[in-house]
Structure 1
Amino acid sequence: MTVTTQPVYRCTPGPLHATLLAGTVPLFLGGLLSDIAYYQSYQIQWSNFAAWLIAGGLLFCGLALLFGLLNLIRAEHKGGRALVYFLVLLATWLLGLVNAFEHAKDAWAVMPSGLVLSVIVSALACIATWIGLTNLRSGGAQ
């Protein structure tokens, strides 16, 4: 009896890609926590903190998205987890951009849509990071 196995190539993000990807979570989560503090205290500075944290999260997420696109282009199989990772990261960046535009409004006009968007973007950032930092398979079974 002969057993043949297909080699499974695991490709994890490089150190810079992983750092950028992992940096999105605390920045977007900090924006969410600042929105919660603003919702409870009515201090405008919390909204300013949230806007800056979201801008930083967009920068990190955008660069991680660029790395994800390059990895997707270089992958032998264009589907599977690598594609899901890229799409979740793209959705995170796009909703984060909408959230940044929402936070550009004046004072209380940010609420409640800014808070809801911050919750969604933070959850998507956590999901994208989870998918991206687990072993992505680029060969064999996906």
Structure 2
Amino acid sequence: MTDPIMYPVRLVRPPLFLPLWHFAVACFIGTMITDITYFRTAEIMWADFSAWLLTAGLVVGVVAAILCLVDFFIGRLVGVNRLSVVYVLGNGVGLVIAFFNALIHSRDAWTSVVPMGLVLSAATLVVLILGGVMGRAAVYRRDLGVVE
């Protein structure tokens, strides 16, 4: 009998926080869309939608950040390097900007969105896009979350 050929096996343990974080980012994208719609139409319903999406994104984002810390401290995230630390810190900065955006959105009527709320929504998305690029590089180029 011949010996079976041994192939290296890679087991992937996906991080717990990623599905929740993706939901939070989708809420922040929706906030930007509803902010732009409110700016163009001045219909108060869109400002309300922005506030709701922003609140949902913040709540879920904070839960995702806590799960990310849990993943990190229990050793579920292997291969943590400088790039992944920049990714996590960038996402934290995005949450902080979104928090200040929620404070701005708590105002009444036109000033809740225009101009500062719109600027903070755009800044949040820029930071999260840069964080997403860093995260992609950390996961796919550095084998984050992969055990050999």
What TM-score does the superposition give when structure 1 sets the normalisation length? Answer: 0.77
Q: Match for residue 111 of structure 2?
A: 109
Aligned-pair distance for 1:83?
1.1
Q: Which structure: larger Rg?
A: 2
Sort the Cα spacing of 1:72 and 1:26 in 2 relative to 1 into closer, same or farther, 3 A.
Answer: same
Quick one: percent identity of the two aligned structures?
28
1:118 aligns with 2:121: yes
- Counterpart in the other structure of 1:18: 18
Distance in 1 (alpha carbons) for counterparts of 2:25 and 2:17: 14
Contact kept, 8 Å, 2:79 with 2:143, in 1: the verdict is no
AA matched with 1:119: A
Unaligned 5+ residue runs, structure 1? Answer: 1-8
For residue 47 of structure 2, what is the amino acid of its counterpart?
A: S
SS of structure 2 residue aligned to 1:105: coil
Name 2:45's counterpart in structure 1.
45
Query: Which moves more between the two structures, 74-83 or 60-69?
Result: 74-83
Q: Structure 2 residue aligned with 1:80, among 76, 79, 82?
A: 82
* Deviations, residues 96-136 of structure 1 (Å, cap 9, x unaligned): 10001110001111210000000111222233334335335
CA distance in 2, matches of 1:12, 1:30: 29
Q: Would you say how many aligned residue pairs link Structure 1 and Structure 2?
A: 130
- Amino acid paired to 2:95: W
Moved more, 98-107 or 128-137: 128-137
Gap change, CA 1:132 and 1:67, over 3 Å in 2: farther
Q: What TM-score do you get using the length of structure 2 for normalisation?
A: 0.74
